[in-house]
A and B are shown apart, each in its own frame.
Chain A
């Protein structure tokens, strides 16, 4: 009975669409592939990796000390964790992962905050975007790798863009939420004194929403880290690739070491963004 139903064509149209996008937007994809990719690689491999590891660790430790409100715990953890990664010969991999995370999060944030603001200002935009965001977040992460790999070949750019798509939703959502949560009286006060829409946004709504937005940014950074690791499946370099290699060789030991490196990086990044939020609130 069910077998009589002809198969709906879904895969083919998506395939066609991808090809179409790839062709039409080549002028965007090619420069990203040819310039942005090599730039990120150069940044990780030649510039960041050129900083002596001890100096890099020292800088992180000092920042950690101050950002955590002049406590030693976090700084000591950062030093031990980074020394361990260096000791295991994963330093360059760490740099790759670090650059990928920063690039993806940075893009996700500068795209996500304006979208979140638009969403908070318009019920229509909100009702269109909410299901889209739900969809983006429930899709298994590595599905994004397929089209981005199609657009950008392999290497760092598809990793960055897959992570960007996967990681932007929390920043968008929480920017929207943060602005909508600003108390009605404060919005009224700002309007009653004759603020323009932009003044209201900059002088009242964004400062009031700041800690909510920062919570979104924190999530975005963590999600882009997880995506960057997954992106190793399409050849993005870094700690994730070490895990995949270990997987292919069924080398539990090497996999454990690389995995531990990712966890250490995750904790350091998470604490940094959280402390930055608390510190200024």
Chain B
């Protein structure tokens, strides 16, 4: 497959003598040494990577590591000192102004850390901006912008001014503005960093959801490893302008390329932080007051499960049934679920930590039930625990 974005040897030096700085880089001088010697700042140092169509490519690094510079080199808001960027095999550096504008209008949109909404324009007019400058007629751009706003859940706010909205909602407008053009690539520079943690998580989920539906290619900048692990298909780690490691979230956690990455990863002892609540899923259940073995078997077949939890109308947990037992019961024409009900249920409470869950689930043939006051809140499958330890797939959907 041809990568949608191909970056080769891309460098940016800020200052008066960029070429001298590049030579010093060749000699193996560090960013600090070069700054001291020449007064030039190395923004990005020889970055090389590909981004595949439809993936979320996260660029992570500490403040000043060159993330913003790198992402702005991708749409040439910053002119590179050296190296090239190819979009669908077209060389960005070779484009004249008009071609470059065309790329920015049609191929990629950007979402900004501080939202960068136009304060004198309404939400709708903000979302229309990209279409407006392309000269698309009023009706059509309104329709497209409204659709983009619906998509981010702001359909009811189109006539408000940005200042009237909360931070999270403002960034949704930023996202809608970027989506309205229907670009192939979204560039997001710390798009969620200015939001408070809860809203931030919500936005991450929504982004993943959008990505599922729309299959955009997303380049997402963050300085937060948790965020990177949660949403990245692949993660590139930057330090002092260089990319020090590129890999899947698992790669980064399991095989940190160097000390720098390791230090980054060390802080994230996820097993201590996450609890059952964070990783549980909505359970498929059968109702003991209504259903018999036949329904149970049918449901399990439908869902592709080998066992299922049994509850009553109040969602009190009674136990579980297995597909094998149900199948046997159907053959024997048994009507009562109680006859095949098993009660050796592995249970935890919503606040049980990951470490404990890991010990329980290790020996259990069925998913662990998360029970609060006798009521079934959710289930945890073994995969979720492993995934959560690796940093992805943390569940926030309401499992009530």
Contact indicator per residue, chain A 171-210, by CB within 8 Å of chain B (1) or not (0): 0000000000001011011111111100100011001100
Closest-by-CB residue of A relative to B98 is A196
Q: What 11 additional pairs, Cβ within 8 angstroms, besides A189-B110, A199-B133, A208-B120?
A: A183-B116, A185-B114, A189-B112, A192-B77, A192-B104, A192-B109, A193-B104, A193-B129, A194-B102, A195-B101, A208-B119
Tell which of B104, B109, B112, B129 touches A185, judged by Cβ atoms closer than 8 Å.
B112
User: Which residue on A lies nearest to B131, using beta carbons?
Assistant: A193
Main secondary structure of the interface of A (DSSP, over half): helix
A-contact 0/1 string along B146-178, CB 8 Å cutoff:
000000000000000000000000000000010
- Give the number of chain B interface residues (Cβ < 8 Å): 25
Instruction: Give Cα A196 to B102, complex, Å.
Output: 11
Expressed in whole angstroms, the minimum distance between the Cβ of A58 and any Cβ of chain B is 34
Query: How far, in angstroms, from A194 to B76 measured CA to CA in the complex?
Result: 11
Chain A contact residues, CB within 8 Å of chain B? 183, 185-186, 188-196, 199, 203-204, 207-208
A194/B112 contact (C-beta < 8 A), A188-B77, A207-B120 known: no
Contact B118 A186 (CB under 8 A): yes
Q: In whole angstroms, how far apart are the Cα atoms of A208 and B101 in the complex?
A: 23
B contact residues around A192 at 8 Å (CB) = 75, 77, 104, 109-110, 187
From B72, B105, B113, B119, give the contact of A193 (CB < 8 A): B105
Interface 1/0 per residue, B357-382 and A, CB below 8 Å: 00000000000000000000000000
CB distance from A243 to the nearest CB of B (A): 43
Residues of A within 8 A of B101 (CB): 194-196
Does B61 reach chain A (CB closer than 8 Å)?
A: no
Contacts of B187 in A (CB 8 A): 192
Which of A189, A194, A203, A207 lies in contact with B116, CB distance below 8 A?
A189
Residues from chain A with a CB closer than 8 A to the CB of B177 are 193
CA distance A75 to B114 in the complex (A): 43
List which B113-136 residues lie within 8 A (CB) of chain A.
113-114, 116, 118-120, 129-130, 132-134
Q: Is the CB of A194 within 8 A of B130?
A: yes
Structural contact, B77 and A191, CB atoms closer than 8 A: yes
A191 & B104 in contact (Cβ 8 Å cutoff) = yes
Return the contact of B132 from the options A189, A191, A203 (Cβ within 8 A). Answer: A203
Task: Give A211 Cβ to nearest chain B Cβ, in Å.
Answer: 10
Evaluate contact between B77 and A195: CB separation under 8 angstroms: no
B129 partner residues in chain A, CB cutoff 8 A: 190, 193, 203
